[in-house]
Amino acid sequence: MQRWRGLEDIPEGWGRSVVTIGSYDGVHRGHQLIIRHAVDRAHELGIPAVVVTFDPHPSEVVRPGSHPPLLAPHHTRAELMAELGVDAVLILPFTTEFSKLSAADFVVKVLVDKLHAKAVVEGPNFRFGHKAAGNVEFLVEQGKVYDFEVEVVDLFVRGEAGGGEPFSSTLTRRLVAEGDMAGAREILGRPHRVEGVVVRGAQRGRELGFPTANVETLPHTAIPADGVYAGYLHAQGEVMPAAISVGTNPQFDGTERTVEAYAIDRLGLDLYGLHVAVDFLAYVRGQAKFDSLDALLEQMAEDVKRCRELVAAENA
């Protein structure tokens, strides 16, 4: 799959394509419906399928300081899109200048002049252009002028998550913030993942017999509620069952919020400086401060036992 950072990266002579546009944060099951439809339509027409997305999130430019927590970084979204059969991802730098581009100019400069859209696939609530003035109806009218079809796909999937709310990135962020890993997983179709580089922390886990990988997460990452979770640590191509702690470490009067993963039953791991990923499977308990170090150690042993059981049940 090709990845383009800006319109100038699109190869010369790029032909007709099927296009879908959106932030697609998390590439959740609703997003997957739209993207798969675009890919299927592209196969029918014998042309490539292209996803257009933005960096940073448009809200950060339109309303500085309002950048939402991200469910997946762009490289992960691209990998998920590639698995769905997408041929190219175009990441447009969302600048103040770009935010002022009218919906009509966006159609011409992006869809017509550069991607030569034959079909555009979107959800019913799609908005674009300056002040989100463009909608599906406007896109249909533009398609008549510039010779492209517009196909609308209902992206709203419902399940138990959020009490039956339609699946969305907003709902998923809320569930992650609440520590509802089962709900987030239902929407995403996979466990919620956090990525980053392993850095040196206070190394108390090592002293206590539970050495953890202290993950310096990527900017704007959606981090689950404080507490202990069962999950996996991905490092150097290996997937290891893990007990994961999120929080400020109140036992030692910590103030900085961290994500730390203990690879269960693994000794002698040296992960410093490596980029790793942590998958959150299930919430185990909330963050707590104990009366003594012995009480903390007893609880940590119990946490690891519970996490081992939850991961084993996942693989049963």
- Tell me, yes or no, if 141 is annotated catalytic: no
- Burial environment of residue 206 by CB neighbours within 10 A (0 to 12, 13 to 18, 19 or more): exposed
Is 11:50 a contact under the CB 8 Å cutoff?
no
Is 205:262 a contact under the CB 8 Å cutoff?
yes
With CA atoms as reference, report the closest residue to 1 among 111, 70, 69, 86.
86
Pairing of strands 2-5, 88-93: parallel
> Choosing from 122, 186, 195, 260, which is the catalytic residue?
260
Q: Is the torsion defined by CA of 10, 12, 18, 19 positive or negative?
A: positive
Cα-based torsion angle of the residue sequence 140, 144, 149, 154 in order, rounded to the nearest 10 degrees: 10
Cα-based torsion angle of the residue sequence 89, 93, 98, 101 in order, rounded to the nearest 10 degrees: 0
Q: How many CB atoms within 10 Å of residue 235?
A: 21
Distance CA 35, CA 1 (A): 14
Distance CA 188, CA 285 (A): 22
Is 25:68 a contact under the CB 8 Å cutoff?
yes
> Residue with structure tokens 């034959």?
118
Positions annotated as catalytic residues are 260
